[in-house]
Amino acid sequence: MRDWSPAWAVRWLFASEPGTSGSGFGEEPQPKQDPPLRGIGKTDGLLPRWILLRALGLIYYSAFLSLAFQIKGLIGPQGILPAGNFLREVWQQFGRVGYWYAPTLLWFSSERHMLTGLCWVGMIASVLLVLNLWPRGMLAICFVCFLSFVSAAQDFSAYQSDGMLLEAGFIALFFAPRGWRPGWGEASPPSRASWFLLIWECFRIYFESGVAKIMGGDPEWRNFTALDDYYQNGPLPTWIGWYMQHWPHWFHAATAFGTLALELALAWMLFLPRWFRIACFCIVTPWQIGIILSANYTFLNYLVLVLGFLLLDDRLLERFLPRRWRADFQSRQEEKRQLGCRTPNEALNENGAEQEIKPIVSESSRRNWEGTLRMQWAALKLALTAVMLTWILYATTAQMIWMVKPLGLPTTPVSALEPFRIANRYGLFAMMTRGRYEIEFQGSDDGQTWLAYPFRFKPQDPAKAPGIYAPYQPRFDWNLWFASLSTWREEPIVPRTEQALLKGSPDVLRLFAGSPFPKKPPRQVRAVLWHYWFTTPEEKRATGMWWRREQLGLYAPTLERQNDGRIVVLEWPQMTEPRE
């Protein structure tokens, strides 16, 4: 007789227990008398999980490493947008409720040492995650540290990639194996619900981006011209993108059509049977590699790429393991199969202390308070897991539905999760930029000779080839690209950077490649706007230049530092219209 009870269904979806079978959602329910040893947990997903968690550790490390060099200049006490000032404003407006709206450890302190410590703790935890040491604990530390930055970084964390990483990192807490040294994790295979939600996130990144392109109304996507200038106009182009920009129009039209086809149609293959998923992996993986090489989108495409490994299974990936690893993996799988052949009582006596839920318990153990407490704790964990993952599923599904039609679904469960960025709506490149504009900061002591502050990553010198920096994320350079498409009144980071340069803030100066005023700050600072284009192949052969540019005028007010330290406006910009 089969057990179709709600309790069994909850365990089948949310529990993480070893078994000898259980390849997916299409398997047959197992007999009631032996549920813990057969089919509880996605037991053919150990290798994809192992790869994903190691890659997630590397992605977290890249995020914290990039912050280690920037965080003080971005949100430090002498930075552009000090976190301390922001949190004080949150407290004044919301009081104690502000802890929910801004969930960050920086409430304790937002001084320089705290910011540096946040990055170092995150880097150490991410390395330990890569080394497979207490993965659940390391994932929790990485999540808390990264959320602490994102919640206090204001404009410097308004990226979809940050939400993608936080969502994947949070779900991975339920996906990862338990234990200090779990090995391949055969003792606690991934739960089906957590596996599905990670696939669901990958699907939504593709599908919602496709829906945003259609619903956004940009004619360039409808006319398949969206990628004609894409490689030139993106936030941080690469030298490979320079060459791809000059490929024929039919290639750009074909890739624009392919993007829409992948996001709106092929993405549904993520939910089809095994061979369809493998085929989907073989399509999306080279696609993501191409994006990584042609544009610097930080860790975004690396994360989407590694989520694709969940489309594979142990049967396929086992063939690509080194011989020693494959032998170890096969031996552990054989031990698991032998365990599954034992009687329930034998397995319980040997491994009962490690089982999350024990459906077969002798009368004597029920009288034992320790055994009862373990059972109640396991049941509580299972209930909390079920509630949390179901909550995320509802919030993400509702947001996806609202992209197409504003149905009257409850909004409170969705808004309650917004501060934690674990249930997001995505929509990459809904509107394409029509030109490339760059903001350049210049300083002067006499108002006649202006010297430019050199950037580390974004285009500036026409003779310098665009680099490949991803997954490193230069947030200051990125935000200036977004600011160039708007006006200075809507982008406070520009005038605040001008003020910091006039004061000679060392933390802000480290965001640049250097300072043309090494001895003392200049008396005047201005921000000018340039229009950039890739050079043609003929121009590059003749001049060696990668870019050509034209100065458009002032972007923000020109500021001057008076003898008494006051900062005044010398000149106001004439440009008021935002650019596309």
How many residues belong to the chain?
A: 580
Whether 256 contacts 226, CB under 8 Å: yes
Where does a domain end: 281, 316, 351?
316
Asked if residue 538 has pLDDT above 60, the reply is yes
Tell me the per-residue pLDDT of 188-213, one tens digit each, with 9 for 90 and over: 999 999 999 999 999 999 999 999 99
Residue 552 belongs to what domain range? Answer: 436-571
pTM above 0.75, yes or no: yes
Helix (H, G, I), strand (E, B) or coil at 174: helix
Look at residue 41 in the predicted model and tell me its pLDDT.
67
Q: Is residue 388 part of a domain?
A: no
Rounded to the nearest integer, the mean pLDDT of the chain is 89
The structure tokens listed for 227 are 């990628």
DSSP H or E run through 71: helix 46-75
Contact between 574 and 555 under an 8 Å Cβ cutoff? The reply is: no
Q: What is the mean pLDDT of residues 224-250?
A: 95
Note the pLDDT of residue 52.
97
More confident residue, 577 or 107: 107
pLDDT > 70? residue 576: no
Q: From residue 17, how far is each of 45, 177, 179, 355 by CA, in Å?
A: 13, 10, 13, 7
19 backbone dihedrals φ, ψ, rounded to 5°: -160, 170
* Within a domain: 153: yes
pLDDT at 33 over 70: no
Task: Determine, yes or no, domain membership for 383.
Answer: no
- Pick 324 or 36 by higher pLDDT: 324
Helix axes 6-14, 369-404, angle to 10 degrees: 80
393 domain residue, yes or no: no
- 48-107 confidence digits (pLDDT tens): 999 999 999 999 999 999 999 999 999 999 999 999 999 999 999 999 999 999 999 999
- Tens of pLDDT along 503-522? 999 999 999 999 999 999 99
Are the C-beta atoms of 35 and 3 separated by less than 8 Å? yes
- State the DSSP H helix or E strand holding residue 443, giving kind and residue range, or none if neither: strand 436-444
The reported pLDDT for the residue numbered 529 is 96
Decide if pLDDT at 37 tops 50: no
Per-residue model confidence (pLDDT) at position 579? 64
Q: Return the amino acid letter for 271.
A: F
Q: Find tokens 């993400």 and name the residue.
A: 396
Q: Please list the alpha-helical segments (H only) found in 153-248.
A: 160-175, 192-215, 219-222, 230-233, 239-245
Domain final position from 301, 316, 331: 316
Rounded to whole angstroms, how far apart are CA atoms 580 and 204? 26
Please choose, from the candidates 468, 144, 442, the residue with its C-alpha nearest in 3D space to the C-alpha of residue 291. 468
pLDDT digits (tens, 9 = 90+) for 259-295: 999 999 999 999 999 999 999 999 999 999 999 999 9
506-544 residues labelled b (16+ CB within 10 A) or e (exposed): ebbbbbbeebebeeebbbbbbbbbbebbbbeeeebeeee
- Clarify whether residues 311 and 455 are in a common domain: no
Q: What is the per-residue pLDDT for 331?
A: 85
Specify whether the CB–CB gap between 465 and 544 falls below 8 A.
no
d(CA 176, CA 139): 9
Is 32 part of any domain?
no
Is residue 350 scored above 50 in pLDDT?
A: no
Written as six digits, the tokens of 128 are 């330990």
User: Which tops the pLDDT comparison, 496 or 25?
Assistant: 496
Residue 478 has pLDDT above 70, yes or no: yes
* Span 371-410, pLDDT tens digits: 788 888 888 999 999 999 999 999 999 999 999 988 889 9
| 160 plus 289 within the same structural domain | yes
How many separate domains does the chain show? 2
Q: Is the pLDDT of residue 351 over 70?
A: no
Q: How confident is the model at residue 361 (pLDDT cuts 50, 70, 90)?
A: very low
Q: Is residue 417 part of a domain?
A: no
Q: Which of 267, 282, 316 is the last residue of a domain?
A: 316
Same domain, 52 and 183: yes
User: Is residue 260 included in any domain, yes or no?
Assistant: yes
Location of structure tokens 């993952």: 389
Q: Write the pLDDT tens digit of every residue in 162-185.
A: 999 999 999 999 999 999 999 999
Give the pLDDT confidence score for residue 356 in this predicted structure: 45
Tokens 């074909």 belong to 254
Residue 380 belongs to a domain: no
% residues pLDDT > 90 (the chain): 78
CB-count exposure of residue 297 (10 Å: 0-12, 13-18, 19+): buried
Tens digit of each residue's pLDDT (9 = 90 or more) over 119-135: 999 999 999 999 999 99
Q: How far apart are CA 448 and CA 136, in angstroms?
A: 59
Q: How confident is the model at residue 567 (pLDDT cuts 50, 70, 90)?
A: very high
pLDDT at 364 over 70: no
Residues 281 and 318: their CA atoms lie apart, in Å, by 16
